[in-house]
Amino acid sequence: MHFRALGQLNYWSPESQSWGVAGNNANITLYGGIPVDAWLNYMLNPGNATYAAQYQYYANGTVFGGNGVSGPVTALIDGAGSNGSFHSHLDWKVSDAAAAGVYMLTLQVWSPTLENGVQKYLDSDPFHVVFKTAGISQAQFDQAFDQRIAVAVPEPESYALLLLGLAVVGLSARRRKALI
Q: Of the ranges 109-113, 149-153, 157-161, which is most confident?
A: 109-113
Q: Of the ranges 58-62, 78-82, 120-124, which is most confident?
A: 58-62
Check pLDDT > 80 for residue 158. no
Query: Taking residues 122-141, what's their average pLDDT?
Result: 94
pLDDT digits (tens, 9 = 90+) for 96-118: 999 999 999 999 999 888 899 99
User: What confidence category does residue 27 fall into, taking pLDDT thresholds of 50, 70 and 90?
Assistant: very high
User: Domain locations in the chain?
Assistant: 2-155
Query: Taking residues 136-163, what's their average pLDDT?
Result: 77
pLDDT digits (tens, 9 = 90+) for 56-72: 999 999 999 999 999 99
User: What confidence category does residue 148 fall into, taking pLDDT thresholds of 50, 70 and 90?
Assistant: confident
Instruction: Tell me the percentage of the chain whose pLDDT exceeds 70.
Output: 79
Task: Look at 13 and 178; give whichever has higher pLDDT.
Answer: 13
d(CA 29, CA 14): 22
